[in-house]
Structure 1
Amino acid sequence: AEMPGIDPEVACHQLTLDPRASVVVQRRRKQSPEKAEAAKKAVKDLLEANFISKA
């Protein structure tokens, strides 16, 4: 899946987090193997297209 690049000058998202905020741990939810594989492929495609990056 080819994705066009977006110029960071046009759109760039940043999350502003309060360093004093506490971490909220939520329970993990099960996902069907089909949905898990689809999500893994979507993330891989977005990483390869440089739409997202690892923190």
Structure 2
Amino acid sequence: KARLMGILSDSTGQTQEVIERDTDRNFYMDAQQAVDYGLVDQVLAPPKPEEKK
């Protein structure tokens, strides 16, 4: 568990204490919150459908 906390801390920029607190309970976030937290680099939007001619 400590190794995983270290990996997540290094990857996200969050402290190990924050990671441990957030993984100790249900911690839900939306896509933008995941970006802000450092879990993901970016969120991709689906391509817009092409207009029919």
- Structure number having the greater helix percentage: 2
| Structure-2-length-normalised TM-score | 0.23
Question: Greater RCO between the two (CA within 8 Å, min separation 6)?
Answer: 1
